[in-house]
Amino acid sequence: MKKYRKIVLVVLAILNSVVLLGQLWPEGEPPFAKTINILTLILNIVFIVNLFFRKTNEED
């Protein structure tokens, strides 16, 4: 399970880097930038909610 979490973190880091690059250099953004932004936002929310509920369940 830790390997899965590490892979997810690497993917999120790469996607967040692409989003940041698009914010810093808007002229160079690829045509699929809007899709990447939405996908990154959704994955970040899912990951954070997953961490929150996992932490809550471990305390019980």
Task: Give the closest residue to 39 by CA, choosing from 22, 54, 24.
Answer: 22
Contact of 34 with 22, CB cutoff 8 Å: no
Domain count, the chain: 1
| Range(s) of the domain holding residue 29 | 2-59
pTM: 0.70
Contact 32, 8 (CB under 8 A): no
Contact of 15 with 36, CB cutoff 8 Å: yes
Residue 1: pLDDT band with limits 50, 70, 90: low
pLDDT of residue 59: 58
pLDDT of residue 38: 92
- Residue 22, number of CB atoms within 10 A of its CB: 17
Condensed to tens digits (0 to 9), the pLDDT of residues 16-60 reads 888 888 889 989 888 888 898 999 999 999 988 988 888 666 655
